[in-house]
């Protein structure tokens, strides 16, 4: 199969592109190398993909007429590209253009593909809101610009499924961690701060937040499992993540255990829109995809620390 992966040099997109290549597919990656975080880190990911003979096209999905820049013989699309997370440096316009407009342009491109079997939108547990412990049928209540615009993007994709213009599904991911995690994310910052004897910025009250910290390899297991199941997943929203919950404090202690040292903490004001609890309800993923994440938090952190030491020290 010939598969297009957007956001291919990012965290989860790069792991998915690699897995698809290992499974024998021809993978075309798309990325605009956004400076949201270090382009040097993205180039490091790109080098790993090129070693797998994965082609990467440098283009911006916010620009119209993607058919003139992307292949017209794609079988599957995995759409990871987005303005991620909750950040005070990101404007609503950033979220709107990267999450809604870019998705609309990609849909227009997809509708012109004669052989497309499935459009896989990558959603987020942030769509549910401050509490993300629900089955997929729960009415979403996003509490951030990120969650609102990812919900809109998801519905743009599923609209075309409902109109029977293409087969599509959306996978809502939960608190993904592991090698290549973005530098502003919790575990990368904890590892960096711990190794450099710097203080980790902890938002007030967040030490008690509960998370389904899910290893990226377990997420990719679920993502790629939709291939060949387009009749089953068409029109569906499916949660992917672990059912095991850990507090942020337990996450900090796990990194300290792996590093063998304590991490200094700098208490910061509470962050608006931050989720209080995520616990992946994966009954549907288990039924439709046979999805069963296996990696423990300790194992995930060990893998991430090893990658960090090998690549970023």
What's the CA gap between 250 and 245, in Å, rounded?
Answer: 10
Q: Is 68 helix (H, G, I), strand (E, B) or coil?
A: helix
What are the structure tokens assigned to 171, written together? 């996978």
CB atoms within 10 A of CB 66: 21
What's the CA gap between 100 and 239, in Å, rounded?
Answer: 21
Catalytic machinery residues? 146
Residue 96 DSSP class: I
Contact 179, 305 (CB under 8 A): no
CB atoms within 10 A of CB 145: 20
Cα dihedral: 133, 271, 200, 48 (round 10): 60
- Chain centroid to Cα 229, Å, comes to 21
**What size, in residues, is the chain?**
313
Cα dihedral: 247, 243, 225, 235 (round 10): -100
């Amino acid at each position: 199969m010939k598969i297009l992966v957007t956001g291919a040099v990012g965290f989860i997109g790069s792991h998915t592109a690699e897995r698809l290549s290992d499974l024998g597919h021809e993978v075309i990656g798309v990325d605009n190398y956004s400076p949201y975080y270090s382009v040097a880190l993205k180039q490091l990911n790109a080098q790993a993909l090129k070693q797998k003979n994965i082609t990467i096209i440098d283009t911006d999905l916010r620009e119209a007429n993607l058919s003139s820049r992307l292949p017209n013989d794609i079988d599957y699309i995995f759409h990871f590209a987005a303005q991620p997370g909750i950040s005070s440096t990101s404007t609503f316009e950033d979220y709107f253009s990267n999450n809604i407009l870019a998705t609309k342009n990609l849909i227009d491109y997809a509708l012109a593909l004669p052989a497309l079997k499935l459009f896989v939108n990558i959603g987020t547990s942030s769509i549910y809101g401050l509490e993300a412990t629900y089955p997929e049928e729960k009415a979403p209540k996003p509490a951030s610009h990120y969650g609102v615009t990812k919900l809109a993007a998801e519905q743009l994709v599923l609209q075309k499924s409902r109109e029977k213009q293409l087969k599509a599904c959306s996978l809502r991911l939960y608190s993904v961690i592991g090698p290549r995690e973005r530098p502003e994310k919790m575990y990368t910052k904890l590892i960096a701060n711990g190794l450099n004897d710097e203080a980790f910025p902890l938002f007030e009250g967040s030490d008690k937040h509960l998370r389904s910290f899910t290893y990226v390899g377990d997420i990719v297991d679920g993502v790629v499992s939709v291939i060949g199941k387009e009749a089953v997943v068409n029109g569906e929203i499916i949660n992917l993540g672990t059912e095991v919950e850990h507090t942020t404090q337990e996450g900090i202690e796990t990194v300290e255990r792996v590093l063998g040292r304590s991490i200094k903490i700098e208490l910061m004001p509470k962050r608006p829109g931050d989720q209080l609890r995520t616990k992946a309800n994966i009954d549907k993923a288990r039924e439709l995809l046979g999805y069963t994440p296996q990696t423990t938090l300790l194992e995930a952190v060990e893998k991430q620390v090893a990658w960090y030491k090998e690549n970023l020290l």
